[in-house]
Amino acid sequence: MEKYKKSQDLFEQAKRLIPGGVNSPVRACRSVGTEPVFIEQAKGATLVDADGNQYIDYVGSWGPMILGHAHPAVIEAIQSVLHRGTSFGAPVDLEIQLAEMIIEAVPSLDMVRMVNSGTEATMSAIRVSRAYTGRHRIVKFDGCYHGHADTLLVAAGSGVATLGIPGSPGVPEDIIKHTLSLPYNDIETFASVMQEQGDEVAAVIVEPVAGNMGLVPPDPEFLRELRRQTEKTGSVLIFDEVMSGFRVAYGGAQALYGVEPDLSAFGKIVGGGLPVGVYGGKKDIMAQTAPEGPVYQAGTLAGNPLAMAAGIAALTEIRRPGFYERLEETAARLESGLLNAVRNSGVEAVVNRVGSMLGLFFTKDPVRNFDEAKKSNLDMFSAYYRRMFESGIYLPPSQFEVVFVSAAHVDADIDKTISTAQAALRELGQA
Ligand SMILES: *Cc1c(COP(=O)(O)O)cnc(C)c1O
């Protein structure tokens, strides 16, 4: 189509040079039967593609852009350190500043280590937990995604779920035999597994708000049970807050639900849109990390001044009084508009929301775990996605990802989104 001509040409070029034409699978939009548009630039909640088409963006670079794109404070912070050089592989003052802000925000953290991605953060947290406990076994939950490290690519959400594959070729059986994946929010199954084999479990890792099977809120009692059982068995409880951290509350899901893990992983928002991951937690566990302890973990570009400056600027903006209250209002407005649109359409769908994370599933039943999420009518999701996209609403191109509302979304954006959804759902209801 003429409207997407430049993007189509670019995608053809990209496919010759990069597998699938993209540097992260879900971007290819295969599950919704479309091709990606190439982004030229973005500002606030608005994306502009290579052909000049404009979109209201609900992907937010998959989570980091809680302030919207190209926020002046973040851009200015990056510019102000740029002249110092971009990386030294030696300590800089900005690392202390960001570490201090993160530790202040999240009470369960005594120490943190900066890495370059969420994948690195969870992978390192697992390694440290295994060293600390002297055990191998890892418990995770179906539909949770913790990055693409071998150990954690079992019944994973996000792109793995989108592509409909159970795990991944290239991951040796010898490695994943130590990983046990259990149903999310299932207190009984978890408790009985821990009673049987808890003393072999090095770590239990969870997304305390699940955002990689669509949005699935935790049963608060489930999170409390994770804490109780791991305390009993001496297993490390890891909250993967790469998505939920600084998103559902400044102190993350652990602040929202009042459950303190031993270790946490962060990413996305904490880098202000630059590549940053963080793992941290109790001092005696973190002291395992080299050079303080024997567990090797390193990074050439870790803690570089550009990324640190962007993170500091982003956190400075979002910790201002009233920030999360306003975000909550905007997201609640979108939620109630969508619920209305569903009701008036005759389409069976449910909306899940925690703060500014939201998911619409095309099923009539509640969605509390991965099996229930998979009941969503994916053909209907694809049709909905395409209809919204054609009208300038840029949603994540997968049922198993979440809609992110940012502080840059204004009432007019939300209103336009709701009226477009209303029309889209009504058409689906009549089809
Ligand atoms: C995005 C995400 C990751 C992986 O982070 P990357 O920076 O993409 O490596 C890990 N865990 C969760 C919960 C995520 O949402």
Q: What is the CATH number for 414?
A: 3.90.1150.10
What pTM does this model have? 0.97
Q: Whose CA is nearest to atom 8 of ligand 1?
A: 118
Residues 343 and 202 in one domain: no
Co-location of 159 and 307 in the same domain: yes
CB-based contact 217:359 (threshold 8 Å): no
Tell me which residue has its CA closest to atom 15 in ligand 1: 243
pLDDT at 164: 64
Query: Could you read off the pLDDT of 132-167 as tens digits, one per residue?
Result: 999 999 999 999 999 999 999 888 887 777 776 667
- What's the confidence (pLDDT) of residue 93? 97
Structure tokens at 258: 């009042």
Residue-level pLDDT at 159: 75
User: Nearest-CA neighbor of 7 among 36, 43, 33?
Assistant: 36
Whether residue 48 is found in the same domain as residue 108: no
Report how far ligand 1's centroid is from the alpha carbon of 419 (Å): 32
Examine the domain organization and report whether 260 and 277 are in the same domain.
yes
- Please report, for the domain that includes residue 142, its CATH number: 3.40.640.10
Q: For residue 359, what pLDDT is reported?
A: 97
Distance CA 208, CA 355 (A): 13
Same domain, 388 and 295: no
Comparing CA positions, the residue from 73, 24, 153 lying closest to residue 323 is 73
Structure token digits, residue 46: 């608005």
Active site residues per annotation: 145, 240, 268
Alpha helices in 19-112 (DSSP H): 72-82, 93-105
**Closest Cα partner for 291 from 88, 87, 86, 91?**
91
- 258 and 179 within one domain: yes
Last residue of a domain, one of 264, 286, 318: 318
Question: What is the pLDDT, as a whole number, of residue 131?
Answer: 98
Q: Are residues 79 and 120 in the same domain?
A: yes
Contacts of 359 (CB under 8 A, 6+ apart): 214, 215, 216, 351, 352, 353, 367, 402, 403
Cis status of the peptide bond prior to 291, with omega within 30 of 0? yes
* Residue 19 domain boundaries: 2-70+322-430
For residue 168, the model assigns a pLDDT of 83
* Torsion angle, alpha carbons of 215, 373, 261, 246, to 10: -10
Rounded distance from Cα 393 to ligand 1 centre (Å): 24
d(CA 258, CA 224): 9
C-alpha to C-alpha distance for 291 and 51, rounded to whole angstroms = 50
Task: Please answer whether residues 265 and 96 qualify as being in contact, where contact means their C-beta atoms are separated by less than 8 angstroms.
Answer: no
Angle, vertex CA 413, rays to CA 346 and CA 69, nearest 5: 130
Distance 342 CA to ligand 1 centre (A): 30
- 108 and 166 both lie in a single domain: yes
The position carrying tokens 């996209």 is 389
Ligand 1 atom at shortest distance from the alpha carbon of 117: 7
241 and 136 assigned to the same domain: yes
Q: Are residues 25 and 80 in the same domain?
A: no
What does the alpha-carbon distance between residue 137 and residue 405 come to, in Å, rounded to a whole number? 36
**Residues of the chain scoring pLDDT < 70:** 1, 164-166
172 and 279 housed in the same domain: yes
Last residue of a domain, one of 266, 287, 318: 318
Residues enclosing ligand 1, CB less than 6 A? 117-119, 122, 145-147, 207, 211-212, 240, 242-243, 267, 277
| Same-domain pairing of 252 and 291 | yes
Total count of domains within the chain: 2
Q: Report yes or no: 215 and 357 within 8 Å, Cβ to Cβ.
A: yes
Which domain-ending residue is among 257, 283, 318? 318
Query: 3-class secondary structure for 4-30?
Result: HHHHHHHHHHHHHHCHHHCCCHHHHCH
